[in-house]
Amino acid sequence: MYVVIVGCGRLGTLLADGLSVAGHDVVVIDRHEASFRSLSPEFSGFRLTGDATEYALLKSAEIERADCLMATCSEDTLNLMVAQVARHVFGVACVLARVHQPAFGAIFKNAGIEIISPTQLALDAFRERLDAGATKRP
């Protein structure tokens, strides 16, 4: 599959490396070229430096043929912007966005974007482990 990843922070890097090694075609976009240094030597995809909210940059990433766009930036507003453009301007079928502020979740969902909230996932994991510990006790 052809996957466009916006943001080459910790999450974006792990996704880009993993998907590239798994045989997918990957383009990773970041505003700062230095961010690409965290990619592993095994990463065989493309690196694009620039602002992913700019139409021209997304065009040069050939986003219209992407199977999936993953917005992984640390700013929710940037992820929302990029995800909406991918979904509604370029018609990308699978658009996934990281969301930090739980309050933003509804806005993304209304825009037809699937959200992944690391905070919510961690919250659920903490609660599950606590419950599991409670049932183990005599």
Binders of a copy of itself among residues 69 to 98 (CB under 8 A) are: 70, 72, 93-94, 96, 98
Among 67, 77, 89, 106, binds a copy of itself (CB under 8 A): 67
Residues 38-57 touching a copy of itself, rule: CB under 8 A, are none
Pairing of strands 68-71, 2-6: parallel
β-bridge mates for residue 68, sequence order: 3, 94
The reply on whether position 100 binds a copy of itself by CB under 8 A is: yes
Q: Should residue 66 be labelled a site residue for a copy of itself when binding is judged by CB under 8 A? A: no
Contact between 102 and 119 under an 8 Å Cβ cutoff? The reply is yes
Helix (H, G, I), strand (E, B) or coil at 2: strand
User: What residue type is assigned to position 112 of the chain?
Assistant: G
d(CA 39, CA 120) in angstroms, rounded, equals 26
Q: Whole-number minimum distance, CB 56 to a copy of itself, in Å? A: 26
Task: Find the binder of a copy of itself among 6, 15, 39, 52 (CB under 8 A).
Answer: 15
